[in-house]
Amino acid sequence: MSWLTIIAGAARESASGVRLLRQQVRRDGRLRRLGFYVSLGLTLLVSLFPFYVMFITSISPDDAIYANDPSLLPEAVTLKQYTVLFSSETFAFTSYFLNSAVVAFITAMFSLVIGVIGAYSFTRLEYPGNTIIRRGVVVVYMLSAITVVVPLFKLISVLGLVDTRLGLLITYTVSTLPLTLYMLWNYFESIPVAIEEAAMLDGYSRVETIFRVIVPLSLPVLVATFLFAFKIAWNEYLFASVFLKSQSKLTLPIGIEQMNANFSNVWGQIMAASFLTTLPIIVMFLYLEKYMVEGLTAGAVEG
């Protein structure tokens, strides 16, 4: 319902367009403004409503959640869902959270280091095959996890890496690499070559130039790249669901899914867990919105 409303509203708005606003008569303009704010409000409502539900449910007591007539406003506020999540023996939430944090952090580090030297290599150094690699990055970027998950699982089992963090780390590093390489490549291309040439004439070798000129110069992009790799690893579900077996190693997505599968009517805890899973990403995103937007538009990420 609300979807239709918003599409209709936005379409009506866009058809008239802001650019005409100025030359309209004032009353018409006021009506348009109203239409604009209504459309904007609806867009926000639709975008954020699920997050609202998530948060409200996570701070509601069970009897409010499972009431016959669900209400959109909390009648009572409680932190019980969160305390259960952290104290209960049945949910290993703390361990899921830590596992995810460790895996995502190390993945992002790996991806960044390999990405920086790799992207520098094919943007700036000439050797046979660098153009093929450049194109390959774009092609590999379009591949999806599902295409390789079966053989990769075989491979991981043969190597004895099933149910290890290492298996997950390698897989995640590689799945973030195409994006990392692509984002860094875009940025490195924008740095004038003369700056590197100046450094080399100033007595620095190529490798020193990378780490003492290019890296400090690219700091904002490196942060954005790191966050993107972190986010991909933090959100990943498919590989983790196939590779991980033991409770103590599960990451958040798998952990929460198991909570849902193994217990019924634990919505309060699931929403609390979901909220805690979402929170780091939201904080990161709102705080570094500018870089994240750059990353999204540069690499066009699959979330």
Partner 1 sequence: MSLGERLIATGPNSYFESPVERREALLGILLILPAVVLIGAVILYPLAYNVYLSFTDVPLNPNQSPQWVGLSNYVDLLTSGQFWSAFSTTVLFTVGSTVLSTVIGLAVALLFDRQFRGRRLVRGLVLLPHVTPIIAVAFVWQFMLSPLWGSIPSLLADLGLYSSRVGLLQRSGTALPMVIVFSAWRNFPFAFLLFVARLQAIPESMYEAARIDGASAIAQFKDITLPELRGTIAIIVLLRGIWEFNAFAQIWLLTRQVTTLPILAYRTAFANFEQGLGAAIALLLFVIQILLVIGFITLFGEDSV
Partner 2 sequence: MTMHETDSPDADAPEPTADSDRTAEASAADSEGTALAREMTAEQGGETVELAALTKRYDSTVAVDSVSLDVAEGEFLVLLGPSGCGKTTTLRMVAGLESVTDGSVIIGGTDVSRTTPQNRDVAMVFQNYALYPHKTVRGNIRFPLRKTDLSDAERTRRIESTVELLDIDDLLDKEPAALSGGQRQRVAIARAIAREPSVLLMDEPLSNLDAKLRVRTRSELRDLQQRLGITTVYVTHDQEEAMSVADRIAIMNDGRIEQVGAPEEVYRDPNSTFIADFLGDPSMNIVSVAGENTAGATADGLVAGLAAASPDRAAQVGIRPEDLYLVDETGGFVEDAAPEAASSVYECPLTVLEPIGRAYELTLEAGAAQMVARARTVPDELRDSDSVRIAFDRDAVYAFDRNGGRLR
Site residues for partner 2 per CB under 8 A: 192, 194-195, 197-205, 213, 216-217, 219
What x-and-dash track marks residues 226-245 binding partner 1 by CB under 8 A?
-----x--xx-xx---x---
CA distance 262 to 233: 24
- Binding partner selected for residue 219 from partner 2, partner 1, none, CB under the kind-specific 5 to 8 Å limit: partner 2
- Please state the closest distance from residue 225 (CB atom) to partner 2, in A: 17
- Please state the closest distance from residue 209 (CB atom) to partner 2, in A: 9
- Name the one range near partner 1 by CB under 8 A: 78-86, 185-193, 217-225, 290-298: 290-298
Long-range CB contacts (within 8 A, 24+) of 89-95: 90/263, 91/255, 91/259, 91/269, 91/273, 92/247, 92/248, 92/250, 92/255, 93/255, 93/273, 93/276, 95/247, 95/248, 95/250, 95/255
CA distance 217 to 210: 10
For 100-135, letters b (16+ CB in 10 Å) and e give bbebbebbbebbbebbbebbbebbbeeeeeeeeeee
- Binding partner selected for residue 50 from partner 1, partner 2, none, CB under the kind-specific 5 to 8 Å limit: partner 1
- Binding partner selected for residue 144 from partner 1, partner 2, none, CB under the kind-specific 5 to 8 Å limit: partner 1
Q: Using an 8 Å Cβ cutoff, are 271 and 117 in contact?
A: no
- Please state the closest distance from residue 185 (CB atom) to partner 1, in A: 11
* Contact flag: residue 215 with partner 1 (CB under 8 A): no
- Please state the closest distance from residue 128 (CB atom) to partner 1, in A: 4
Residues 41-100 that bind partner 1 (CB under 8 A): 43-44, 46-48, 50-51, 53-54, 57, 65-66, 69-70, 72
Residue number with CB closer to partner 2 (15 or 219):
219
Exactly one of 34, 79, 98, 155 binds partner 1 (CB under 8 A); that residue is 155
Residue number with CB closer to partner 1 (48 or 198):
48
* Contact flag: residue 188 with partner 1 (CB under 8 A): no
Exactly one of 118, 168, 226, 291 binds partner 1 (CB under 8 A); that residue is 118
CA distance 203 to 222: 25
CA distance 29 to 186: 42
Q: Using an 8 Å Cβ cutoff, are 270 and 259 in contact?
A: yes
* Contact flag: residue 122 with partner 1 (CB under 8 A): yes
Q: Using an 8 Å Cβ cutoff, are 182 and 299 in contact?
A: yes
CB under 8 Å to 44, separation ≥6 — which residues? none
Residue number with CB closer to partner 1 (22 or 27):
22
* Contact flag: residue 171 with partner 1 (CB under 8 A): yes
- Please state the closest distance from residue 199 (CB atom) to partner 2, in A: 7
Number of residues that bind partner 1 (CB under 8 A): 109
CA distance 217 to 215: 5
Q: What is the DSSP string of 16-53?
A: H-GGGGGGS-HHHHHHHHHHHHHHHHHHHHHHHHHHHH
* Contact flag: residue 25 with partner 1 (CB under 8 A): no
* Contact flag: residue 253 with partner 1 (CB under 8 A): yes
